[in-house]
Chain A
Amino acid sequence: MKQEPLSKNRRKLSRFLCQEMLYDFISHRLDPDRTEAVREFIETDEQVREEFECVQQGIRYAEDLSRTPVTPALIERLKFSELPSKRILNKILWTNWPPAVRLGTEALVISAFVAVVMSTLPWQKISVFRRDKSKQIEITQVEARKKIVSDDVEVAEGEKQPEATPPPADVSKDDLANTSLAAQAALEDEGSDDHEEPVKPPVLTPNPREKTAARLEPAKETKVAAAKEDDQGKPPSANLAPGATPVPVDSQANEDAQTAESLKGKPKGFVYKAFMKLNNLDDMTPQIADIIRNLGGQRAGEVELGWRRDSGSYYHFTLPESNYQELLNSLKTFGPVQIFKESHRRVMPAGKIRFILWVEDGDK
């Protein structure tokens, strides 16, 4: 605080004011005029003088106290002192752990966290990880059914089974896979509409017993099948393709009854499932239907031949067995064909085979 010098006509300092300035006077913080005024007051006023002496004595006493020595032991103790709480905290604090322990603990924590996340995250709900079960199953089934069976060769008991004919050479594996996958999906969709049985696992190799069992029907079933055949009407002979001959059914009824007993409980029938993928399906569909009819084919379900769907055309028909190869050759002229033979509980009359053909639209 800057002290203004007293004016020339200065008033005498009061005792109170002088008392308050005693410490500053002793500390030499007053300006020369005030210093002189205070000195005069001290000399003249006894009370102020006493107080002045008290302040001086207090200063001397405090200076004596300030010279109190502190032992080095105490200094050391203070220098290296540590609060108990801090000591515990330092031990708990993981940054003070040995590096090996710290790294091991970090690794453990991270591993545990990752394990918890992996186990609790709903992976199936994430589309990237969602498994298309139907496709996987189809792929497995497609690969298992790649053996194409030809029924032209009759196999006696004890002889080797006929080898499955490989797919045509001009058919790429991708086409086969695509056709089969789509067709399988379509067939699974169609099955219920067409009052068909659900698709059963395919037969990898044709069992000659099953093949003969398909022909060898008990008398009742033969009659039923024959009755059905009659209900549907005889295949018009005029529509038969040249070279195709109808196969008589009734002549084998006795042989069928003998082997039917040994195959109780197993699917006794079979069905051929064929898949194709063609462009310009609107034009191809009626052509294929005509070929089937020309070879003696008749619809076997409730829908007409070449039932048009958004993704393809569907054919469910029966065909004289003798015209099987002819049909195959005719279909190959349109494009690659993939055929599977599956066991089915529906038994056809002898000489007749049942077909389900799915032609996928290649334009879509």
Chain B
Amino acid sequence: MSEQNLKAIALFFFFAFLDEKIALDASIKITNKFRDRVSKHPDFSEAQSQTLLVQLTKKYFFQHRHRSLRHQTALTGHAGWQVPTTLDLSAWKQFQKESSENDFLAVIWSKILGFSDESISEGLGVTVGTVRYRIGNGLRALGAMNKFKTLTKS
């Protein structure tokens, strides 16, 4: 299992839940599942790995979404994710709360993890156009929130 895949799993759950403990538990479980699936198909390509990760992360996210909504985000910076201090996560937190879940996840997979639109569409079972539509919506909303935060800070 490549380090790139491990990092992708860790980043997804960190930004999806914004809770280090939940993100760690989720990362361990999905890592084991991903490892089991890949061991049965050793000749997985990069695109197939991305598709599999989309499927596994999506399923887990929707099963445990309520956990992140119950309490406030818990980020200590000591669990393994080193968010730069110059980076403000308030826009992202707002984006997590207010955006649709499909747009939210599409932005994570496409812009944070760098997955291809084709892999995302195959993992979700939708068309590439749908994926791009969701990404565009998400980015527009994220950009608006970030712009607002920036303006309010300044």
- Contact across chains for B112 and A78 when beta carbons are under 8 A apart: no
One of B44-52, B54-62, B63-71, B77-85 contacting the partner: B77-85
CA distance A89 to B114 in the complex (A): 36
Contacting residues, chain A, for B3 (C-beta < 8 A): 75, 79
B121 sits at the interface (CB 8 A): no
Contacting residues, chain B, for A67 (C-beta < 8 A): 84
B136 sits at the interface (CB 8 A): yes
Given A74-B79, A74-B81, A75-B3, also A65-B112 (CB < 8 A): yes
**Interface band, chain B:** 35 or more
Interface of A is mostly: helix
- Contact across chains for A58 and B113 when beta carbons are under 8 A apart: no
B91 sits at the interface (CB 8 A): yes
In the complex formed, the residue of A with least CB distance to B133 is A20
- Contact across chains for B11 and A58 when beta carbons are under 8 A apart: no
- Contact across chains for A53 and B28 when beta carbons are under 8 A apart: no
CA distance A77 to B140 in the complex (A): 36
- Contact across chains for A62 and B107 when beta carbons are under 8 A apart: yes
Mark contacts of B76-113 with chain A using CB atoms, 8 A cut-off: 1 yes-contact digit, 0 otherwise: 00011111100100011000000000000001000111
Contacting residues, chain A, for B113 (C-beta < 8 A): 66
In the complex formed, the residue of A with least CB distance to B137 is A23
CA distance A64 to B107 in the complex (A): 13
Contacting residues, chain B, for A69 (C-beta < 8 A): 81-82
A81 sits at the interface (CB 8 A): yes
Pick from B82, B84, B141: contact of A58, CB under 8 Å:
B141
A173 sits at the interface (CB 8 A): no
- Contact across chains for B11 and A55 when beta carbons are under 8 A apart: no
A54 sits at the interface (CB 8 A): yes
Given A55-B139, A59-B139, also A1-B129 (CB < 8 A): yes
- Interface positions, chain A 1-53, Cβ under 8 Å from B, are 1, 19-20, 22-24, 27, 29, 51, 53
Contacting residues, chain A, for B84 (C-beta < 8 A): 64, 67-68
- Interface positions, chain A 326-355, Cβ under 8 Å from B, are none
Min CB gap B14→A, angstroms = 7
Contacting residues, chain A, for B6 (C-beta < 8 A): 70, 75, 78-79
- Interface positions, chain B 11-56, Cβ under 8 Å from A, are 11, 14-15, 24, 27-29, 31-32
CA distance A136 to B46 in the complex (A): 79
Min CB gap A55→B, angstroms = 5
Pick from A20, A61, A68, A73: contact of B146, CB under 8 Å:
A61
Given A23-B139, A24-B132, also A79-B1 (CB < 8 A): yes
Which 3 residue pairs are nearest across A and B when measured between Cβ atoms? A74-B80, A58-B143, A23-B136
Q: Please, could you name 15 A-B residue pairs with CB atoms under 8 Å apart, sorted by A? A: A22-B140, A54-B139, A54-B140, A55-B136, A58-B144, A61-B143, A65-B111, A66-B113, A66-B114, A69-B82, A74-B24, A79-B1, A79-B3, A82-B32, A86-B32
